[in-house]
Amino acid sequence: MGNCSTGSCSGCGSKEHEAAPFVAEGDLAARGELDYAIPHRLEDYKPLLPRRAPPYKVHWNWEIILPCNYRCRYCVVHNESASFLTLPVEEWRKIWGRMFKLYGCCQVRFAGGEPTIYPDFINLVAMILEMHTVDITTNLSFDVEEWIKKVPAQGIAISGSLHLDHVEPGEFLKKLLILRDRGNQLISASLVAYPPTLHRVEPIREMFEKERVLFKIIPFNGVYEGKRYPMAYTDDERRILGMQVEKSKDELGKTLNKQWQDYANAKPDDKNFLGIPCHMGELYAKIYSDGTVRRCCHTGVDILGHITDENLKLYDEPRPCTVVACSCWKPMVSGRYEEKVGMLWQSADHPVWQAKAEVLAP
């Protein structure tokens, strides 16, 4: 997600520092790398199973790796001993080519752990960008100059996770601005609202918004001093977080941060969508690090298959929710999510595959 539309590179002009070229318009099939042909005219771009509900594009949430090179006090996700599926980039090309053939240009969101430590990650991202758009949640510990040389700047959003135990805000912001100056227009930053560092949230938000960087404040989900958060936030702490929404001058930031806070403050009954049709599994799926694909992020929901399965497909229509307390901060419950879909489910435009709803209609 970002706070402005994708644009052309505005970097220094040096050939050495130009963003990596986009190759999707070339005939990849002729190179013998694909067993299908990517159409080169928008009028030929008709996926086999078009999505008929907003946001129309399929969103894949790929938790590609659980290990991380940081050790944050509040993190409950990283797992250094967890195994993860590794394949050569050319094998991944076949898999994501099959998804393109089925669903057209999808949104592929990388998460972890720290996704950039996955083997050959930069070349994997560059390959996926030939067909799909990408969103990466990362601590920005990678080599920015190498990234700029190899990864196209268009069709990608970079969401930097600021971790105050490991990096200072100014240094972190500088990296984001380098990426933006070289063409990555869809950049944002996020910070976990960890109780001991709540006093730093406002000045950091102001620093990033001054540079027109979307700043997201994520409620802490975990245990601190024996108390379970976000339920344990005091009234004063909730007021501090609420003030960040009120004071923000970024409308998208207001919407996203209010959505996060509404989720954190919601009572269990407010998250009970059991039996109500939901588009998760039709417009969205989560890929776990071992390759298992589930309908959504909630524990125990339907398994759709494995990412390497040649017959893997999504649902063709919304299906009833099967959990009592939804764990998603932006659920796709029919009749409820549509109003905010433009803000909550936006993605970068692909420089080639910019099909809209009317193009995808059967």
Domain positions in the chain are: 33-360
Distance CA 256, CA 252 (A): 6
pLDDT score of 148 more than 80: yes
pLDDT score of 251 more than 60: yes
**pLDDT recorded at residue 28:** 39
Distance CA 114, CA 137 (A): 8
Dihedral (CA of 289, 290, 295, 296) sign? negative
- Place 9 in a pLDDT band, splitting at 50, 70 and 90: very low
- pLDDT mean across residues, the chain: 82
| Structure-token pair, residue 228 | 């379970």
Give residue-wise pLDDT tens across range 13-67: 333 333 343 333 333 333 334 444 444 444 455 554 457 788 888 999 999 999 9
**pLDDT recorded at residue 65:** 95
Give residue-wise pLDDT tens across range 92-126: 999 999 999 888 889 999 998 999 999 999 999 99
| Structure-token pair, residue 176 | 């984001």
Give residue-wise pLDDT tens across range 316-332: 999 999 988 888 888 89
- Given strand 303-306, what is the order of strands in its sheet? 214-219, 186-193, 156-162, 133-138, 107-112, 59-65, 284-287, 292-294, 303-306
- Say which CATH topology domain 33-360 has: TIM Barrel (3.20.20)
Give residue-wise pLDDT tens across range 293-311: 999 998 889 999 999 999 9
**pLDDT recorded at residue 50:** 57
Distance CA 84, CA 9 (A): 35
